[in-house]
A and B are shown apart, each in its own frame.
Chain A
Amino acid sequence: MNTTQTLQDIIAAALSIPAAQVTDDLSYQSIPEWDSVSHIYLITELEAAFNITIDTDEVLEMSSVEKVRETLRKHNVNI
């Protein structure tokens, strides 16, 4: 499994939506499933999966799939 696939699966699992629904422009609060609860859960899952620590500003920054990807790149996650 490649990292992009993994990221898609992590997001899908954290938001409890089908992986096919995880597109780059999917954003926070654009669907009922992406609320504050699932957002914090997503952050925790990303930290565990890529062994990184996501800081405060980044938690708020990661408001879309695209931005999640950007933040992960900053942490040298190869996606």
Chain B
Amino acid sequence: MSLYGLIARNQHLRYVDAITGKHYTLADLQATVEAPDEQALAFLYLDNSIASVKMLLNCLNSRLTLALLSPKLHIEYKQRLEEVYAPYYIYDTTRDEIPDFDIEESGLYRSHRGVRNVIHPDIKLMLSTSGTTGSPKFVKLSENNLVQNALSILNYLPVNSSDVTPLNLPVFYSYGLSVFTTNSIAGGQVVCGNRDVVQKEFWEDMERYGYTSVAGVPYVYEVLHRIGFNRKEYPSLRYMTQAGGKLSASLVKSFGEYLSERDKHFFVMYGQTEATARMAYMPPHNLLRKIGAIGIPIKGGQFTLAPETNELLYSGPNVFGGYAVSAADLGTFEQPPVLHTGDVAKVDADGYYYITGRLKRFVKLFGTRVNLDEVEMILNQEIQGETFACIGMEDKQLLVFHRHGIQDDASIRSLLAKKLGLHPTAFKVQQIDDFPLTPNGKLDYTALQQGALPQVQA
């Protein structure tokens, strides 16, 4: 069955507009989105408002292939992506007009030039691998990927028809989308809105609507900790989930204890966009006994460790159908037999997995995956004639190396903050005399990483 078909079967489902408090059934939100005969691509720049959710649902109910994107993406990046992929439709309420597109009654902008791509019919959804660098790299997902992953998640999360779930993570992000799909299939009320945990209104809504769960990336938990979440009581809350990077041991303990003392559950989870969202979860009863673990594979999924490297490999029906970096890649959908997670792992005697390192070149900043090579490319484009090397610092900061005395550090930080839409404190800049090289003449990132730690902490 299709994702929309499963959602349509949920008789208890209501979408609630957080602003007005109005309830809508799926039928209330239904509107026809016309799809041309050929497989066509729609770029949806979605926030979490009821209008965006309506658009997403109706597009899911069409034959279109959807690329979900952040409406806050820098306009230059939006235009570049649209040039690369030539979408047939665009949904973006932040723009009043789009050249060569006409707005239709549905709220979609339609291209004058029609369908200009050949798209494999299995590609239902495309998610960006990076929220902010404007990289054209997308993960290709099928309807089956979405359905299977949602069903596996529903196998361990206690979602039920009396739930009231806020969409407090972006729906264009795989984790936020999984909150949306699972609760649409099996939940009760799904509260749509753009309020976040730093707003008083979010907590007023929590009381007003009686939220039964809250989802968060590590940064959200840091904020919750900072604002004293655990000093208060939330009678309606039944469980919380965490994914999108490693939560510090002290916060796992703090939230794990707080929730278990109140007979509520804390689900620490692990996943990747390449696996639609979820690959593993920690059963709450073992959370405090195995702090730091990512847990056990979800139903239908399997982990193995690669010989020699100990890279964590995953297989399951939620493994993606490859990347797209250009329009030509839309013509294929090929699921690899195993997903190389890029994470190095170990497993204990009970079958619980632990991440011990990372092979891939990215850093997670405030829950957003930022590809380090892409950041280097941005810097090389913007500041020509300089060489840059980027490394990640424990998923807290991105460290940029450059040569002494050519460019000042502050301007590099503010450039990155602006281009990536992230707070400047996420970036650290360090000058060096010369870049370390490996024996075959490549940049030696391992040496940079090792050399960086003591100096940065000083």
Does the CB pair A55–B422 fall under 8 Å? Answer: no
B residues less than 8 Å from A28 (CB atoms):
198-199
A-B contact count (CB 8 A): 47
- Give Cα A58–Cα B422 distance, bound, in whole angstroms: 24
Does the CB pair B423–A59 fall under 8 Å? Answer: no
| Distance in Å: Cβ of B238 to nearest Cβ of chain A | 22
With A55-B228, A59-B226: A41-B423 Cβ-Cβ less than 8 Å = yes
Which residues of A from 14 to 72 have beta carbons under 8 Å from B? 16, 28-29, 32, 35-41, 43, 55-56, 59-61, 63
State the interface size on chain A (CB cutoff 8 A): 18
Chain A residue nearest to B229 (CB atoms) is A56
Which residues of B from 217 to 243 have beta carbons under 8 Å from A? 219, 222-223, 226-228, 231-232
Does the CB pair B198–A56 fall under 8 Å? Answer: no
Does the CB pair A56–B417 fall under 8 Å? Answer: no
- Give Cα A78–Cα B203 distance, bound, in whole angstroms: 30
The interface residues of chain A, by DSSP majority, are classed as helix
Which residues of B from 174 to 226 have beta carbons under 8 Å from A? 196-200, 203, 219, 222-223, 226
B424 within 8 A of A: yes
Does the CB pair A36–B196 fall under 8 Å? Answer: yes
Contact of B227 among A29, A56, A63 (CB under 8 A): A56
State the interface size on chain B (CB cutoff 8 A): 24
- Give Cα A74–Cα B128 distance, bound, in whole angstroms: 45
B421 within 8 A of A: yes
Does the CB pair B417–A16 fall under 8 Å? Answer: yes
With A16-B423, A16-B424, A32-B421: A60-B199 Cβ-Cβ less than 8 Å = yes
B72 within 8 A of A: yes
A residues less than 8 Å from B425 (CB atoms):
37, 41
Chain B residue nearest to A15 (CB atoms) is B423
B366 within 8 A of A: yes
> Could you list some 21 contacts between A and B, CB below 8 A?
A16-B414, A32-B72, A32-B421, A35-B196, A36-B196, A36-B198, A36-B219, A37-B366, A37-B422, A37-B425, A40-B222, A40-B223, A40-B226, A41-B423, A43-B226, A56-B227, A56-B228, A59-B226, A59-B227, A60-B200, A60-B227
With A16-B424, A32-B421, A37-B422 known, 16 other A-B pairs at CB within 8 A are A16-B423, A28-B198, A29-B199, A32-B72, A36-B219, A37-B366, A37-B423, A37-B425, A38-B423, A39-B198, A55-B228, A56-B227, A59-B226, A60-B200, A60-B203, A60-B227
Binding site for B on A (CB under 8 A): 16, 28-29, 32, 35-41, 43, 55-56, 59-61, 63
Across the A-B interface, give the 3 residue pairs with the lowest CB-CB distance, nearest first: A56-B228, A36-B198, A60-B200
